[in-house]
Amino acid sequence: MRIYLSVLLIIIPFFIGSCSKQQEDDSNSYNLNMSVGDRSSYLYQSIYINFALTRSLEDEALSMFIENIDNMTDQKLFEKISKISLETYQYDKSEIIANRWLQIYPKSYNAYQFSISSSLENNNLLKAEKYFIEYLKIIKPIDKNDYSKLIFSFLDNKNRLNVVNFFENYLTKNDNRALNLNFIELLYSYNMPSKVIKHIDKLGTFGERNLVRLYASSHMLLKSYNKSQNILESYLKGKKASDRQVQFELLEIYILNNQKEYRDKLIQKILDSDPDNLDTIYQISRILFESSMFDLSEKYLSSIVVESDEVNLLRGMIDYERGSYIEAIDHFDRITNYNYKILAIINKSSAMSKLESVSKAIDYLENLKKNYNDSSVRQRFALKQISLLNEKKLYKDIITLTNKILDNNNDNINILYARAMAYESLDNINLMEKDLKQVLKYDRKNANTLNALGYSLTIHTERYEEAYNFIHQAYHYDPGSPAILDSLAWILYKKGEFTHALIYAESSYIKDQDPEIVEHYCIILMENKLYEKLKEVIKKESVRNSNNENFIKKLHSIKDEIPL
């Protein structure tokens, strides 16, 4: 890469003489203090770095930037390079960038946001606090909007647990409603509904729309449907004008809470207030579809006589779920809009797999890959092929397909991960581990991969300490994931830490009642001698999974072990 870029060493000098004006206004005053030689050197280096960025040579650009950071003044270049340092987890370089950026632009909001973020990623909470206090002095916050940009910048942080702990510690010592409002939104995006509820309970909603919705939605995620229903009903009761979005959210809760009469009354109320709005009808149909109420969804969708790609896609998905595969394909084939077309193709392949064979569906997607230059679209088709093969448990075919893809693109982490899971299904743990560790070479903070590796080592080996380290890292990066919480509970159980395991098992179960999560939770309840709670869970899950005979047998075998 550096050889390719070195060609620029010949080209750049011809441009330096003609480029006398700096492009960035905020760097002019700084550059005026440079000598002519320094300005030439600065411009030379900036062009080199920007050229590397245009060629997607991020490592080259970052290295060149760090090597010459004492001459760097372009704030936009700082923004670009700082993002690269975080994305590639080069936190030592992030620290260098932060120090220099704040040195030359001590009042830059972006510089402080980056500095706080990189310090949290690098486990330096004391430095993050120092930056944060200085940041507050500069922005002089008054209301929620003053914190929004900062909090938004943490959406991409990998070390989410550090972010959560940092702001919880700060808010414990500082009563700051405006910051807390932003932090609650961040917690929700991190999939941490229990913490959202805790903070809102302390803060109070005062009828504030966004807080009410977050409060109700968090209770819904934790399966507290009655509570969620009461929150939204109380909010809507005091409103003179209808709030369509909140009504839709209440409709979802009525469906989840099996409130058929309330559901139908609310739908009728919405339609009576806006009978000719096709988007309203579509949204009602979509909500019913997502709740697996396919016949009712079709009933409302049929009243839309205007054909659109959005409507055709939903009609096709309804037909697919009802087993009408020919009709589903017909609807998918009518779609022309690019974005909907990709979804239609993916869904059509599922229908073809059911109607004809999985091999026909695989070939259909394979042929379509040639029509799309966009690598992300081709990857979506490949991942769908893998999904179709996985449904039929054709793991050897998955390995054949992924080998073919990886021959041309051996650093594709999604395909590597898929191959690893196929190896795991074939009990080839060594090759699974090799592929997952290869993924981690490219993305060492990939929470899903860390969790998959740790959990696989837990159930297939006795390398419990190693497994715990992988899972614990995953938990730091995504503490809201029920799958990771379950893995953490199970490795602690394997290590004999039953009380500790119960904390995470319960958190995972509240969020997700996947059979494996339920089974683990029941076993851990047994080890903690919580027999009444265990009986209660088994009774509830036996009803919920009445069609899953094997799972019910497992639950009852656990129940049979309860001492008389």
What pLDDT band is residue 185 in, cutting at 50, 70 and 90?
very high
What region, left, alpha or beta, does residue 539 occupy, with left being phi > 0 and alpha being psi -120 to 50 degrees? alpha
What does the pLDDT read at residue 46?
A: 75
CB atoms within 10 A of CB 124: 16
What does the pLDDT read at residue 40?
A: 55
> With contact defined as beta carbons under 8 Å apart, do 452 and 165 qualify?
no
In this predicted structure, the answer to whether residue 474 has a pLDDT above a threshold of 60 is yes
The stretch 370-389 carries a mean pLDDT of 94
The stretch 32-41 carries a mean pLDDT of 50
In this predicted structure, the answer to whether residue 26 has a pLDDT above a threshold of 70 is no
Calculate the average pLDDT of the chain: 90
What does the pLDDT read at residue 25?
A: 42
Q: What is the 3-state secondary structure (H, E, C) of 427-461?
A: CCHHHHHHHHHHHHHHCCCCHHHHHHHHHHHHHHC
The residue among 410 and 288 whose pLDDT is bigger is 288
> With contact defined as beta carbons under 8 Å apart, do 199 and 184 qualify?
yes
Written as six digits, the tokens of 240 are 């003179």
Every domain of the chain and the residues it spans = 450-564
In this predicted structure, the answer to whether residue 23 has a pLDDT above a threshold of 50 is no
What pLDDT band is residue 279 in, cutting at 50, 70 and 90?
very high
Print burial letters for 92-114: b (CB count within 10 Å at least 16), e (below 16). Answer: ebbbebbebbbebbeebebbbbb
Looking up tokens 């919880």 gives 168
CATH architecture under which domain 450-564 falls: Alpha Horseshoe (1.25)
Of residues 373, 325, 382, 318, the one with CA closest to residue 348? 325
In this predicted structure, the answer to whether residue 181 has a pLDDT above a threshold of 50 is yes
> With contact defined as beta carbons under 8 Å apart, do 537 and 521 qualify?
yes
What pLDDT band is residue 11 in, cutting at 50, 70 and 90?
very low
What does the pLDDT read at residue 213?
A: 97
pLDDT tens for each residue of 498-549: 999 999 999 999 999 999 999 999 999 999 999 999 999 999 999 999 889 9
pLDDT tens for each residue of 432-469: 999 999 999 999 999 999 999 999 999 999 999 999 99
pLDDT tens for each residue of 118-159: 999 999 999 999 999 999 999 899 888 889 988 988 988 899
> With contact defined as beta carbons under 8 Å apart, do 332 and 344 qualify?
yes
In this predicted structure, the answer to whether residue 29 has a pLDDT above a threshold of 50 is no
What does the pLDDT read at residue 288?
A: 97
What pLDDT band is residue 431 in, cutting at 50, 70 and 90?
very high
In this predicted structure, the answer to whether residue 34 has a pLDDT above a threshold of 70 is no
Longest dimension (CA), the chain: 91
pLDDT tens for each residue of 194-223: 999 999 999 998 889 999 999 999 999 999
What does the pLDDT read at residue 57?
A: 84
423 sits in which H/E element: helix 413-425
CA 221/CA 202 separation, integer angstroms: 19
Written as six digits, the tokens of 436 are 């997952």
Angle 247-252-258 from CA coordinates, rounded to 5°:
120
CA 1/CA 41 separation, integer angstroms: 22
- For 55, 76, 93, 239, 533, the CA distances from 41, given in Å and listed in that order, are 21, 18, 22, 64, 71
What does the pLDDT read at residue 4?
A: 40
Helices marked H in 23-68: 28-31, 36-54, 58-67
pLDDT tens for each residue of 306-337: 889 999 999 999 999 999 999 999 999 999 99
What pLDDT band is residue 42 in, cutting at 50, 70 and 90?
low
In this predicted structure, the answer to whether residue 43 has a pLDDT above a threshold of 80 is no
The stretch 474-491 carries a mean pLDDT of 97
CA 345/CA 361 separation, integer angstroms: 10
Looking up tokens 């027999």 gives 531
Written as six digits, the tokens of 354 are 């059911």
